[in-house]
Amino acid sequence: MPIRSCVTAVIVTYQSASEIGACLQSLTENATGWIAECRIVDNNSQDGSADAAERSYPGAAVIRNPENLGFSKAVNSGARNTTTEYLLILNPDAVLKSDALSELVHFLDSRKEAAACGPKMLGPKGEFQSVCRRSFPTPWNSLGYYLGLNRIFPRSRRWASYKPETVSPDFESRVDVLSGACMLIRREDFQTVGGFDEDYFLFGEDIDICWKLHQAGRELWYVPAAEVVHAKGASMKHDLKRAKREFYHSMLIYIEKRLARDYASFACFLMKTGVRFRRMLGFLPGL
């Protein structure tokens, strides 16, 4: 299939000066021809992230927010008034490997039922990051994940479905949830479901938009032929205290918005109690 300019890349930066250069270089080297426009939305970084982005990708449109608006609002503003067929939502600490974007575009081109797809995500040492293909959180698989029951019963649908560790990372599959660190989504589908829910400041917005897409009858796919190296949490480390607070707050929002109508109130109460207990004890976010 011939290369065509059909993608707008939307990247949100916050204290990302040390990461954004490699990210944008990977677009230049590995996505040439596919990217019609690159929009970088900077959430009031104090480390020169916006300037670093302009130097690394001179053709990018850099939006400088006067304050930190959070991830959801920033992505939505970057995606506003775009005209390309696809949107590439990409974290500044993610680096596209060769042919990653072309594999994702080819997949969506060939499967019209799919609203979005995501790549295999690898850590800096090549380790697989299971966050790139997840099931929707439920009271049971969340309990299994945080209590370690998923490791004791790795094939259990109840306890181990959140991050299915027994499925090969090389297996292309339809999934519930893709990671917002790298997601290719049809612009029309993104707009139809209203983009990211802006009640989420940081974390949870990717699970939520995937939930909305499923409710709209659309498919989401994990495409391991596309690979991305993801440093994971690079921006979070600059304000870990707030990141932990926002992570647990987002979990509570998701329970109220998306689980309360499908599960017994007692199950949701237990789930919220567990979230608050982990937050009180200061556990790092389990991403």
Reading the block at residue 21, the tokens are: 């250069």
Q: How far apart are CA 92 and CA 27, in angstroms?
A: 11
Alpha carbons 22 and 52: distance in angstroms, whole number = 11
Q: What length does the chain have?
A: 287
pLDDT of residue 285: 58
In order of start, what are the domains of the chain with their CATH numbers? 7-135+164-235 (3.90.550.10)
CA distance 154 to 44: 42
Q: Which residues contact 200 (CB under 8 A, 6 or more apart)?
A: 70, 71, 72, 208, 250, 253
Encoded tokens for 32 = 């040439």
pLDDT value at residue 287: 46
Provide the whole-model pTM. 0.93
d(CA 133, CA 162): 9
Burial bucket for residue 113 (CB in 10 Å: 0-12, 13-18, 19+): exposed
DSSP string, 133-174: SBPPP-HHHHHHHHHTHHHHSTT-TTTS-SS-TTS-TT--EE
Q: Cα torsion at 198, 181, 165, 218 (round to 10°)? A: 60
Long-range contacts, 103-111 (Cβ 8 Å, 24+): 103/223, 103/225, 103/226, 104/184, 104/223, 104/226, 105/6, 105/7, 105/34, 105/184, 106/1, 107/221, 107/223, 107/226, 108/184, 108/186, 109/1, 111/219, 111/221
The pLDDT score that the predictor gives to residue 284 is 60
pLDDT given at position 167: 86
pLDDT per residue of the chain (287 residues) written in tens, 0 to 9 = 689 999 999 999 999 999 999 999 999 999 989 999 999 999 999 999 999 999 999 999 999 999 999 999 999 999 999 999 999 999 999 999 999 999 999 999 999 999 999 999 999 999 999 999 999 998 888 777 777 777 888 788 878 778 887 789 999 999 999 999 999 999 999 999 999 999 999 999 999 999 999 999 999 999 999 999 999 766 566 677 888 888 889 999 999 999 888 888 888 887 888 788 777 776 665 54
SS3 272: helix
CB atoms within 10 A of CB 7: 25
Angle, to 10 degrees, between the axis of helix 265-281 and the axis of helix 240-254?
Answer: 180
